[in-house]
């Protein structure tokens, strides 16, 4: 390590002098804070804290730039904390000691209960014809927002449900991501279907020329009352409206909201492909040598900025 500090005679401000200075500073800093480093999820976040604290400690300038800093953490063999894929914020916060045992245990119980519920429904589904429909899209076709998920669900209900099954109960599952569920956009589509399946005027349903529109599906009204993220299940009924449960073992309750009737509400979300960034396009082009030739036209044809 001392070897790296040789060359102290370099002119101040030169890259090497900056490096040596930063290296010592970094060493000092990382020995004090090594344990805290693993709490950061992204390098930029860690770098921001590093820079702030370096400045407040000794006011020595210059502090390592971001690239040098990244090189230094690599050399020091410091790994950043990688959350498990799809780990929820609460589980992650608990690991970082920011959530109480009680809250975490309640969260775990809720999760186990949801899994039990799902396995019962899954068994029932497997006893049916077991067919599957997949919807997928790339970022040149649509983003990941509630409108896109609602469109997929509407398309599925319109095209995949046989007439004889229209009046049967249907159960939908999704993960906890609010764009996929527990939002008014998706709920309005499901409620619209529920109302329509009880009527004979299917055309009005299919062209969405008139819908009962809920602005919000929040079960509570004021601070401290339940939010959409507290909902465990929603039920769409043609006559009563939208019902919810905060826990699977509770009774259904009516959402405390009244819908407005909206005429001619359906709008085209996109009028053409969404351009991807130039940088991404350039990167994709550079990957062509490792992409099978048959797929090249797809990547080459992507609209980009």
- At 250, list the tokens: 């509770």
Under a CB-based contact definition with an 8 Å cutoff, are residues 172 and 190 in contact?
yes
- For the CB of residue 180, give the shortest distance to Zn ion in the complex, in Å: 16
Whichever of 90 and 246 has its CB closer to Zn ion, that residue is 90
Whichever of 107 and 204 has its CB closer to Zn ion, that residue is 107
Specify the 3-state DSSP secondary structure of 241.
strand
- For the CB of residue 149, give the shortest distance to Zn ion in the complex, in Å: 21
Secondary structure string (H, E, C) spanning 62-89: CCCCHHHHHHHHHHCCCCCCCCCCCCCH
Whichever of 95 and 245 has its CB closer to Zn ion, that residue is 95
- For the CB of residue 52, give the shortest distance to Zn ion in the complex, in Å: 30
Nearest to 196 by CA among 233, 243, 158, 153: 158
Under a CB-based contact definition with an 8 Å cutoff, are residues 204 and 253 in contact?
no
Specify the 3-state DSSP secondary structure of 176.
coil
Whichever of 107 and 280 has its CB closer to Zn ion, that residue is 107
- For the CB of residue 198, give the shortest distance to Zn ion in the complex, in Å: 37
Whichever of 111 and 204 has its CB closer to Zn ion, that residue is 111
Please name the residues in contact with 177: beta carbons below 8 A apart, sequence gap of 6 or more.
Answer: none
Q: Which residues bind Zn ion (CB under 5 A)?
A: 88, 90-91
Whichever of 137 and 173 has its CB closer to Zn ion, that residue is 173
The whole-angstrom separation of Cα 78 and Cα 30 is: 9
- For the CB of residue 74, give the shortest distance to Zn ion in the complex, in Å: 31
Whichever of 13 and 83 has its CB closer to Zn ion, that residue is 83
- For the CB of residue 115, give the shortest distance to Zn ion in the complex, in Å: 12
Q: Is the dihedral of CA 250, 256, 259, 265 positive or negative?
A: negative
The whole-angstrom separation of Cα 120 and Cα 173 is: 12
Specify the 3-state DSSP secondary structure of 193.
helix
- For the CB of residue 110, give the shortest distance to Zn ion in the complex, in Å: 9
Under a CB-based contact definition with an 8 Å cutoff, are residues 222 and 231 in contact?
no
The whole-angstrom separation of Cα 126 and Cα 128 is: 5
- For the CB of residue 92, give the shortest distance to Zn ion in the complex, in Å: 8
The whole-angstrom separation of Cα 62 and Cα 59 is: 9
Q: Is the dihedral of CA 11, 14, 15, 21 positive or negative?
A: positive
Whichever of 201 and 247 has its CB closer to Zn ion, that residue is 247
């Amino acid at each position: 390590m001392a070897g790296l500090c040789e060359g102290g005679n370099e002119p101040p401000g030169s890259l090497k002098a900056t490096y040596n200075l930063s290296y010592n500073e970094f060493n000092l800093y990382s020995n004090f804070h090594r344990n805290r480093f693993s709490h950061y999820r992204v390098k930029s976040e860690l770098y921001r804290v590093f820079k702030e604290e370096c400045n407040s400690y000794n006011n020595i300038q210059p502090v390592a730039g971001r690239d040098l800093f990244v090189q230094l953490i690599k050399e020091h063999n410091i790994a950043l904390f990688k959350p498990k894929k799809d780990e929820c914020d609460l589980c992650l916060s608990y690991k970082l000691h920011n959530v109480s045992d009680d809250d975490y245990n309640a969260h775990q119980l809720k999760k186990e209960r949801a899994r039990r519920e799902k396995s019962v429904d899954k068994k029932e589904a497997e006893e049916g014809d077991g067919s599957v429909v997949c919807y997928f899209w790339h970022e040149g076709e649509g983003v990941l927002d509630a409108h896109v998920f609602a469109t997929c669900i509407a398309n599925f209900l319109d095209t995949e449900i046989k007439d004889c099954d229209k009046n049967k109960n249907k159960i939908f599952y999704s993960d906890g991501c609010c764009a996929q569920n527990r939002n008014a956009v998706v709920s309005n589509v499901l409620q619209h279907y529920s109302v329509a399946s009880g009527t004979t005027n299917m055309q009005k349903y299919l062209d969405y020329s008139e819908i009962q529109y809920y602005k919000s599906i929040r079960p509570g009204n004021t601070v401290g009352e339940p939010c959409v993220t507290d909902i465990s299940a929603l039920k769409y009924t043609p006559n009563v409206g939208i019902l919810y449960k905060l826990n699977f073992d509770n009774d259904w309750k009516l959402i405390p909201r009244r819908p407005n009737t909206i005429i001619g509400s359906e709008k085209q979300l996109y009028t053409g492909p969404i351009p991807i960034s130039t940088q991404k396009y350039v990167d994709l082009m550079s990957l062509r040598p490792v992409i099978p030739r048959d797929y090249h036209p797809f990547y080459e044809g992507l609209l980009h900025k």
